[in-house]
Chains A and B, each alone.
Chain A
């Protein structure tokens, strides 16, 4: 990687000597000798780390499993136990996962999450990567998700978006961010690379200004200030304002990543397209963008994972996502002392989805490298 400073900000995979794994073929005994006990300091280090790890796992085993209470409706049982009180999650899982959504209607959220996850899983499989299939699929599932969430038809009671909450709200915030943010990001990136000074200037100022401020201030604007910019009588739903706010913030970071991909495309590609007399939009859509997105894919997925974590910022403006709902539930005087268990549960949810996304991203990189997509 010569002169990596001026190179575009693309997380290129670093191929060095270290990538070659000489360990793969070693038998176990030799492997242990080489990687754990190859010198005296090394061996001491191994022993210390192993001791700490054992101590840690011993604690986790005792606290988390052996002494833990898994099911009870009586907080006093937990109080008497020495270990974790996982019963708090059993007892409180509904307000944590579904927030303020009316209790009797929460089955709709379960159905909604199933539809959502199925749609996402299908969209992630290359064999279904066909716009003629994906666009109707998303239209249908987004429509049915909104019908389920709002209700008001088919005998389902109406639930205003202010009452949505928990994991479904986190999912809506996340998908809204990505679905709105990605096209905006592409436009901003193209704008920044555009030969038209007006488009370029606008994109540069927009991107840099938004990247320079914290997400919270953008949420403040979306919630507190933006309505003042609308003509009297015109209203935009608060949830929508927040989603657009997060999406635009996300788009500004993503635009920089895509710009890196655009910069990495050889000049010859443009010249070849020009020699075929393709227009700017034809060139962009058919030649440039597919390559640029492919190049910057690892960084793009990083920002998508970050977008999922960033949805949790809505606690500051009082939207009831899964984190807000959990902090609210932990207000219950009877169960409040088991906050560690509750927060671990939420952390585990984020870890699960984050890990799934990054595993998938690694798989996509493999597909790209093997030329499958």
Chain B
């Protein structure tokens, strides 16, 4: 309890009679809360009764039973196996995965762009920093939905498949999307993926051991190249050991579309570019503020003791900058994820778009919207929990 209570408990020192009790601040505070609680409950009850009455009066179906029925509609882009005979629940899952895919791609793109522009903003090159400022002002101040629609219309007006923009016969850009050459499917690829993950784990362990070693002996071991070697070398070794398969799957125009290779749909691209550019403007500003939070004196001090520029960044600027950058950055990530819900306007099958279809097919708007809201709420809560955890991790440790 805070100082506010003290102010509320002020007043005279009356004798304890019933009248005085009724007018005492303690009682009034208590009564006010009871009334508040009653009003909130009543309002809730009122709304609940209305909706039940309304739904019953018209025999509208209620409940989440529909989730197990057959969806009977197809989805354009699916990360998992799905067809029209699957359930509504699975359709929702497909939508959720699509939301996560476009959000993840958006976060990567926005972060790369945002950091690049953020660094450009604080660059000592006047021209570059002004260009970066112009970029930030433009992408931040145009509504994200306008940007997404704009990119969607631009992509739709690209040439059709027969007149595709052809890049060396390997990459094709059409109004059906970007088709590009990928290595033909090969079991070796899965092992390479595992090797890549193992490389990352080994690199982390290696860096940890190197740090322990340094803390004990004061001798510095540069782990940058060994780490990169592990992460990219291991998959390369696996590839060689697997017979170095070089077969490529090249997109070829067959019938209506390019077959083979991999294709990124225009809807995905438009949404991705729109939400990522928008977020990159905000991220650039966050990065700028973070970089400027390190007093210049510290950088100069670090240089004057002969630290290489890479280490000045790594050990002086970034640790301080990240503490300032990471919390607002995460909320940008969450808001990017929520912005991906405008997919419905360009037709990318994300959670809201699928939910929208389900709402129409079943007519159960309340339930379908509740599913969407709960999913987003869960993602937000999980993210902010992780964030708090990270904050505790990087918070300044006072000794």
A and B touch in the complex (CB under 8 A): yes
Given contact pairs A195-B1, A229-B50, A231-B50, A214 touches B40 in the complex (Cβ within 8 A): no
Number of A-B contacts (CB under 8 A): 191
Give the complex CA separation of A327 and B149 in angstroms: 9
Given contacts A211-B380, A220-B369, whether A229 and B153 have CB atoms under 8 Å apart is no
Q: How far is the CA of A278 from the CA of B8 in the complex (A)?
A: 9
Are B295 and A312 closer than 8 Å at their CB atoms? no
Partner of A212 from B32, B53, B377 at Cβ < 8 Å:
B377
Range, interface on chain B:
35 or more
Q: Which residues of B contact A373 (CB under 8 A)?
A: none
B376 within 8 A of A: yes
Chain B nearest CB: distance from A56 CB in Å? Answer: 10
Contact B352 A224 (CB under 8 A): no
Query: Quick one: which of A18, A202, A346, A350 contacts B40, CB cutoff 8 A?
Result: A202
In the complex, the answer to whether B50 meets A228 with C-beta atoms within 8 Å is: yes
Complex contact A214–B36 (CB within 8 A): no
Are the C-beta atoms of A224 and B146 separated by less than 8 Å? no
**Among A196, A217, A355, which residue has its beta carbon within 8 angstroms of that of B141?**
A355
Q: Is the interface of B mostly helix, strand, loop or mixed?
A: helix
Pick from A277, A316, A350: contact of B146, CB below 8 A: A350
Asked if A225 contacts B365 (CB within 8 A), the reply is yes
Interchain CB contact (< 8 A) of B33 among A196, A214, A274, A351: A196
Contact with A along B326-350 (1 / 0, CB 8 A): 0100000000001101101100000
The CA of A3 and the CA of B327, in the complex, are separated in Å by 12
Once the chains bind, are A273 and B126 in contact (CB under 8 Å)?
no
A contact face: mostly helix, strand, loop, or mixed: helix
Interface residues of B in 2-59 (CB under 8 A from A): 2-8, 10-11, 29, 32-33, 36-37, 40, 47, 50-51, 53-55, 57
A contact residues around B153 at 8 Å (CB): 330, 339, 343
Q: Would you call A50 and B145 a contact (CB within 8 A)?
A: no
- Does any Cβ of B come within 8 Å of A49's Cβ? yes
Are B352 and A214 closer than 8 Å at their CB atoms?
yes
Does the CB pair A217–B341 fall under 8 Å?
Answer: yes
Chain A CB within 8 A of B372 CB: yes
Q: Shortest Cβ distance from B47 into chain A, in angstroms?
A: 4
Chain B residue contacts of A309, Cβ below 8 A: 141-144
In the complex, the answer to whether A350 meets B141 with C-beta atoms within 8 Å is yes
CB pair A280 B8 closer than 8 Å = yes
Contacts of A35 in B (CB 8 A): 124-126
Quick check: is B292 within 8 A (CB to CB) of the other chain? yes
Residues of B contacting A6 in the complex (Cβ-Cβ under 8 angstroms)? 395
Question: Are B125 and A36 interface neighbours, CB within 8 A?
Answer: yes
Residues of B near A3 (CB, < 8 A) are 395-396
B289 within 8 A of A: yes
| Distance of A81 Cα from B316 Cα, bound (Å) | 56
Contact B395 A198 (CB under 8 A): no
Contact of B292 among A14, A202, A350 (CB under 8 A): A14
In the assembled complex, B264 has its CB within 8 A of some CB on chain A: no
| B82 at the A interface (CB under 8 A) | no
Q: Is A1 touching B141 in the complex (CB atoms < 8 A)?
A: no
Q: Given A217-B341, A316-B344, A327-B149, answer yes or no on A351-B138 (Cβ-Cβ < 8 Å).
A: yes
Chain B residues near A (Cβ < 8 Å):
1-8, 10-11, 29, 32-33, 36-37, 40, 47, 50-51, 53-55, 57, 122, 124-128, 131, 137-138, 141-146, 149-150, 153-154, 157, 289, 292-293, 295-297, 323-324, 327, 338-339, 341-342, 344-345, 352, 359, 365-366, 369, 372-373, 376-377, 380-381, 391, 394-396
The 6 A-B pairs with the shortest beta carbon distances in the complex, nearest first, are: A274-B7, A212-B380, A35-B126, A312-B143, A214-B338, A354-B141
A residues near B (Cβ < 8 Å) are 1-6, 14, 16-18, 35-36, 38, 42, 45-46, 49-50, 53, 194-199, 202, 208-209, 211-217, 220-221, 224-225, 228-232, 267, 270-271, 273-274, 277-278, 280, 283, 305, 309-310, 312-313, 315-316, 323, 327, 330, 337, 339-340, 343, 346-347, 350-351, 354-355
